[in-house]
Amino acid sequence: QLWGSPGGQPLENLSIPDHLQFPKTYADGRIAPTIRVIDHWVQQIRQGQTSAPSFKEGVYAQLLMDLAHQSHEMGLWVEVPDLDSFLAEL
């Protein structure tokens, strides 16, 4: 089920559009979304296309998580490089 509401209004049960429905669902709610991501990834490989987010964006997401942990552990602000600058240093 999907619940939502405009700000300040009570939650309502929202209908999920057909194109977002999973063809099969499982008791473990993580399985259907994982299968969808893997299917999309395999289709992109078969078609010779790059999927977004790509590995490049994944590297940057990991960097941001690492920097957030570093900032917390040190109790300080840390500098966040832009993606291209970070990749150029590798």
Q: Is residue 38 part of a domain?
A: yes
DSSP-derived secondary structure for 60-86: HHHHHHHHHHHHHHHTS------HHHH
Say how many domains are in the chain.
2
Structure tokens that stand for 10 in this block? 């009570």
Q: What is the pTM of this model?
A: 0.48
Domain span including residue 34: 22-51
pLDDT tens digits for 47-79?
998 777 778 888 999 999 999 999 999 999 999
Asked if the structure places residue 4 within a domain, the reply is: no
pLDDT tens, residue by residue, 8-53: 899 999 998 999 999 999 999 999 999 999 998 899 999 998 777 7
